[in-house]
Structure formats: structure tokens, C-alpha cells
Amino acid sequence: MKVYSANQIRNIVVLGHSGSGKTTLVEAALNVSGVTSRIGKVDEGNTVSDYEAEEIRRKVSINTSIIPIEWKENKINFIDTPGYFDFAGEVKEALAAADLALIVVSAKSGIEVGTEKAWEYATEAGIPKIIFVNNMDDENADFDKVVEDMKEAFGKSVAPLQVPFKENGKFTGFVNAIKKAGRKYVEGRTQECDVPAGMEGEVELMHSMISEAVAETDDALLEKFFEEEPFTVEEIEAGVKAGLLDGSVTPVFCGVANATLGVRVLLNSILQFAHSPEEFRPEMTVVNPKNDEEITIQCNDKEPFAAFVFKTIADPYVGRLSLLRVFSGKLKKDDIMYNTKKDSTEKAGQLFVMRGKEQLPVEELKAGDIGAIAKLNSAETQDTLCAKDRPVLFPDIVFPPSLLSMALAPKAKGDEDKISQAFAKLLEEDKTLKLEVNPETKQTVVSGIGDTHLDVLVNKLRTKYKLEVELSDPIIPFREMIKGKVKVQGKYKKQSGGHGQYGDVHIEFEPSGDLTKDYIFEEKIFGGAVPRQYFPAVEKGIQESVKAGPMAGYPVVGLKATLVDGSYHAVDSSEMAFKMATSMAFKDGFMKAKPAILEPIAKVIITVPDDYTGDVMGDMNKRRGRILGMEKVGKKQVISAEAPMAEMFKYSTDLRSMTQGRGEYTLEFDRYEEASKEVQDKIVAQRKAEMEKEK
């Protein structure tokens, strides 16, 4: 592929609800630009964008794909993203490399949750938006309703530049609302035609709406608008481009992706209205890692090199590919790059541009472009690569939290090391996957965004790495405590020829009042009833005993043990004997001192649209949760609550179901709290059953 400069490039992230036609639209762009001879179909598993086995099997995008096309001496880098919420991390990576969002909306389904998310993501990323209303050939397509709904949801910036029309109930063309000129599709291409009879009023209304929107982009246009002077076509087009940049205009186009209707017009419009990297981000403010001061870099290839690794592909056969966006300067094979985060340098190997899984070699990558380098030693996703004499650091991507946690175990014994090696590669690719070994339960716990995310993980381990694993609910780290005060004796006496064993302690057990500590040990011995040399053995007995409480074998917290009396034998006493005596006293005293089970309580912040507030609060009550407060933020409610961790493992799936995917939440451990008697009885019974099973 040719090398392109920043003024010839457009970086477009394709967003939208799952099934709206994002991948099909990109396939159509490949077809009309001459890259492919036929349009790949998602259902047939032969698209350029969705090439992984899991994507083909599920018939949905799971990974972000880079699809560059050449169009009229320019290059458009389409970044095709998954629409399913579990793969929002892929979307975040794509947004880090894009300068404009193309939001695909179904003319039949209209605004869906994924449409709202796409708008939110693009707004958060600070990039302009254009909308393509797809599936205009569907008998239930309603362009006018979709536009009205979008205006209501997203505001007055939504500006249709086309007014579609039908003949004999079939979508056949549109009127260019800027030029007020008809266009009819003939064999996939547009031909000029008259504005259909009866559409003049609608076209005039759309023209007026666009004029009003662009008037706000320029003082001279605003003055002209108030004086009711008509704008020229050139003025409106310039206003649309300016409004797109500042967010005051969101152009809307329409068509049928799988028939390539409207796709050529869309590509032409992208070149006309979308900003090249040097127009959109002529300069960027970044950080100098040497002194943490802000510096400005320019988007041109005369500047020192600086790029951001926004995605990593770790294939067990091909090796690691680092996808990067060049923000300044240029990069050639064998150039030495400085990795700011790793404080290391490495040489650039062969440079590629990716087209799905295909690697197209290029001689260099210039500012504004997106490319890939194979087999870099240290570079990971979110690393900055730059010239060593001008070190810079780009901001990290903010990934969605991974709140669905499951215990992961191999089906075959001895596969633990292989799983660790496979996960090292999977974690390189997917920054929303988390893996940790719980030091208390010894379980390997994997966390993801949702159940589909983890299901894909399991299938990847099987197909890519030949590893069979199973997921289960993680063990809840309950605790045990006492609420009362008792004084007990523990006496260990054993005689078996020769020296015997003798240890005798009187210990007071009571709550310490500090649940963050396992135990506090004190001694108040008078008159040498227990020699000082055995105090450490008594404490050791306490230390070992609190690891597994007598109620259900969970760790004990908040215990205070005071050694107050005892006795010893000059010959038979030993450290072991006093440790054993202490253990006996602990078991007896704990069960007499009003023992209780504590459960971990989580602090939860839930953000949902107003309509779902009642359902969410009702559900939280069913989970034994408590609502602490509510705050209105924009059109949403932020609900503060707390709930037992045991009730929250599947909450990400349940909240998504309750709110049709519109709800979000964060969760963090807050404290331990005594469980109700009913819950305690259940926990003890379950634990006893588990221990019987283990015998």
C-alpha cells in the first residue's frame, strides 16, 4: 500500500448497536473501493473484518479490526468495533486512534442501547460524529422517525443531509438537502433526477434546519441568517465541516450497506466533511515524562516521531503485533524507538498496515496514520513509542471496569502452568481481563465485563491454546468473630513414658473492637503461674487458631485474648504443650463467647436512567442491600448502596438485563459485617457439607 501523509488520511471508528450493520458497511466500502470483488457476509463468516474463529462462530464482532481503503487519492482507515457491551474495551482502544465516529443506526430498529453508548463514547473521547442510517430497504424502515428520535435523544446538532424517497414502496434515492437536488440509485450508483413531486416542502424544511445549524458556526453566516439572506451551497458545506468539528452539527446519511446503496456517497462525504488528522488535531498536548511538564507536539512528518500503541494482537502462531497510531513525525524500518513507559529502546522491524488479519507491508508510517509492527520486545497496549531526544507520554485509555468474577480451574491436572502462559498472551490482547490468585482461598479468579466476555475467554483457551477449563462461583471470604466475653481453661497433659507434656492456661476471650486485625494478645500473669518463656508459645497457639474458626473454618477477626493464669510443670512443660493448651482453650472459649459469621460488604455506585430507578432499588433490597442515597446527574440517577459481596457476583449480567444495557456500576469492598442468623446458619451448613465432601 502507498504511503500517505496526514492531509490525505481519515481515521474513522465505526460504532453502533450489535447487528446494526457496522461490519457490513465496512465490507461495502471494501467492495466499492475495489479491494474485494464481492461483499463478505457476517452470516457466512467470510468478512474481512471478522476473521477470528469465535467471531465466525458467533456471527458478531469481538475484536476491533483496522480496515484501510484507498478512495480518490486518499486513505480512509476504518476501525470496525464490536457492538456487544462485553467488548467495550475494544471500542475504547479504537477511540484512542480515531478522529471521527461513524455511528451506524438501523432504519428499522432506530435508536438502541448501543446507539446511545456509541454517542456517549464518542462524546467522552471528544471526537466528531456522523450517522449512517442503514437498512433503508427494510419494509419497516422509518427514516423520519429515526431522525426525530435522534434529535430528541442527542439534541439539535442532528442534521440529515439527505431526504430519502421510495418508488412503489422501495427505497430508490434521496434528495441532497444542501443542494436541493434529487439523486436516484441506478445499479448501485447515483444519477441526477428531479425532486419527486410532493417532497418540496420536506426538502425546504431540511434545508432550513441545516442552514440554521451552520449559521451558528460563523459570525458572518449568523448575521446573514438573521437578515434572511440565503446561503450558498459552498457556505453551507463549509459550515457543516466547521460544525462537525465543534460538535454543533452531526450530519446524517442513509443507505443500504449490503447493497452498497449510499456507500459511495458516504465515502465522498467523509472526504468532504471529515477532518484529516492535521486538521482535527494539528497539535496535541502531552507530558514530558522526565519532568511531568506539558509539551505540545505537531501533527506533521517533519516533527520528531511519537506514536501510541492502542492495541496488541497476540497470536500463538503469528506472534505479537503492536497496532499504533502515529501522532507526529514518521517511522521507517530499523528506526530506533524509545518506549517511555518501559524506559527502553528497540528497533522497528517490518512496518505493516493491517486489513483485517492481512498484513500489508509499507515503507514508512507518517503522522496521522495507523499501522503495525511485529514482534516488539517490550511494547504493550498503552505504551508510548517516540524519539529518545524528545520523550513524550500519551494518556492511558480509561477501560470499563471488569466486575464479573469467576473461579477458573483446569479440567486436566497439571495444566496450571500452561494456563498461566496462555493468559500472559490473552492479557496482552485484552486489558479488560483480570487474573489473580486469591491468597486466602487459593482459587484462580478471572474477571471480565460480562458472561459473554468470559465465555469467549474459555473458548479461546480451548481453540487457540488447547486448554480445557471450567468456571465456577468464587469462594466468599467470610470471617468469624465473637460478641461475648468468657474466661476458659485449656489444659494439655500427656504421659507416655519418660518426659510427659504439660501446659495449662486460663485465657479471657473478648471482642477487640478492631475487625481489621485478626487478634490482639496480652498477658496479665501474676506470681509466675506461667513462666515468661512460654508466652510466645501461647501467642503462637492463638495465631494458628485464628486461621480457621470453630464455627465454619473461616479466619477469625476482632479477637482479644488475655492470658490471666495457668500452671506449669518443671519437667514436663514445653512450648508445644502450651501451644496445644492454648488451642484447646480457643476452641472451647470461642464457641461459648457468642460466635458469629461476618460477611464482606461492598460499596456499590449504580448509574441508571430515571426509568429504571425503581427496578434497581427493588432488586437491591432483594439482595439484602441498603440504599444510602440518590443523586440526579443529567438524565440519570446515581444510586449509592451497599450490599453483601455474596449477592453481587452476577450483578453485571442482572443489571444489564434490568436496564436493557443502560445501567452501569462500580463496586469495591468496604467492610465486614455480621450476617443475619438465617444467613449464618446457611453458611455453616454449606461449609460443613463442603468439608464432609473433602474428607
Contact of 628 with 642, CB cutoff 8 Å: yes
User: pLDDT grade, residue 497 (50/70/90)?
Assistant: low
For the chain, give the mean pLDDT: 94
Asked if residues 662 and 652 have their Cβ atoms less than 8 Å apart, the reply is no
Distance CA 579, CA 562 (A): 14
d(CA 271, CA 134): 20
- What is residue 649's predicted lDDT score, i.e. its pLDDT? 86
Paired residues of 562 in beta bridges: 508, 522
Is 80 exceeded by the pLDDT of residue 495?
no
pLDDT at 498: 66
* Residue whose C-alpha cell reads 531526544 in the numeric block: 389
The pLDDT of 655-682, averaged and rounded, is 94
Contact 324, 308 (CB under 8 A): yes
pLDDT at 417: 87
Angstrom distance (rounded) from CA 132 to CA 663: 26
For residues 510 and 482, give the distance between their C-alpha atoms in angstroms, rounded to a whole number.
7
Cα 628 from Cα 497, distance rounded (Å): 66
How distant is the alpha carbon of residue 463 from its chain centre? 23
pLDDT computed for residue 414 by the predictor: 83
Cell of 58: 458467533
Cβ-in-10-Å burial (0-12, 13-18, 19+) of 7 comes to: middle
Backbone angles phi, psi at 491, to 5 degrees: -130, 125
The amino acid that residue 379 corresponds to is A
Query: CA-to-CA distance for 68 and 59, rounded, in angstroms?
Result: 22
CB-CB contact of 107 with 136 (8 Å): yes
Residue 452, phi-psi category: left (phi > 0), alpha (psi -120 to 50), beta (remainder) = alpha
Q: How far apart are CA 353 and CA 369, in angstroms?
A: 9
Q: What is the pLDDT of residues 435-468, one digit of tens each?
A: 999 988 889 999 999 999 999 999 999 998 999 9
In the structure, what pLDDT confidence band is assigned to residue 319 with cuts at 50, 70 and 90?
confident
Helices (H), ranges, 155-284? 200-215, 219-226, 233-246, 263-273, 277-280
Structure confidence at residue 142 (pLDDT): 94
| Interval 92-101: pLDDT, tens | 999 999 999 9
- On the question of pLDDT at 37 being above 70, the answer is yes
* Structural contact between residues 456 and 62, judged by C-beta atoms closer than 8 angstroms: yes
For 143, the 3-state DSSP assignment is: helix
pLDDT 10s digits, 502-536? 999 999 999 999 999 999 999 998 878 899 999 99
Q: Give the Cα separation of 123 and 154 in Å (integer).
A: 11
Q: State pLDDT tens for residues 263-297.
A: 999 999 999 999 999 999 999 999 999 899 999 99
- Residue 90 phi/psi, 5-degree rounding, is -65, -40
Answer positive or negative: Cα dihedral of 401, 406, 410, 413.
positive
pLDDT in tens, 52-109: 888 999 999 999 999 999 999 999 999 999 999 999 999 999 999 999 999 999 999 9
Instruction: Provide the pLDDT for residue 690.
Output: 79
Q: Which pLDDT score, from 0 to 100, does residue 525 have?
A: 87
Neighbouring C-alpha atoms within 13 Å toward the C-beta of 494: 9
Q: What is the pLDDT of residue 648?
A: 94
Mean pLDDT of 215-233: 89
Asked if residue 573 has pLDDT above 70, the reply is yes
Distance of alpha carbon 693 from alpha carbon 695, whole angstroms: 6
Percent of the chain with pLDDT over 90: 86
Q: Which helix (H) or strand (E) holds 681?
A: helix 677-694
Q: How many whole angstroms from its chain centre is CA 677?
A: 38
User: Which strand (E) or helix (H) includes residue 420?
Assistant: helix 416-429
pLDDT exceeds cutoff 80 at 692: no
The predicted pLDDT at position 91 comes to: 97
Q: Which DSSP string do the residues of 449-515 spell out, in sequence order?
A: SSHHHHHHHHHHHHHHH---EEEEPPPP--EEEE-S-EEEEEEEEE--SSS-EEEEEEEEEEE-S-T
Place of cell 507526529: 328
Nearest to 185 by CA among 174, 200, 194: 174
Domains of the chain with CATH codes: 6-168+249-280 (3.40.50.300), 283-386 (2.40.30.10), 404-472 (3.30.70.870), 479-593 (3.30.230.10), 597-679 (3.30.70.240)
Rg, C-alpha atoms of the chain: 33
Q: What is the pLDDT of residues 389-408, one digit of tens each?
A: 999 999 999 999 999 999 99
SS (H, E, C) 73-129: CEEEEEEECCCCHHHHHHHHHHHCCCCEEEEEEECCCECCHHHHHHHHHHHHHCCCE
What the block records as the C-alpha cell of 222 is 449568523
619: β partners: none
Pairing of strands 351-355, 404-410: unpaired
β-pair type (129-134, 370-374) = unpaired
State the DSSP H helix or E strand holding residue 170, giving kind and residue range, or none if neither: strand 170-176
Sign of the alpha-carbon torsion through 271, 272, 275, 277: positive
Percent of the chain with pLDDT over 70: 99
Q: Please count the other Cβ atoms lying within 10 Å of the Cβ belonging to residue 288.
A: 14
At 695 the pLDDT is 61
Give pLDDT tens digits for 321-376: 999 999 999 999 999 999 999 999 999 999 999 999 999 999 999 999 999 999 89
Which helix (DSSP H) or strand (DSSP E) does residue 306 occupy?
Answer: strand 306-315
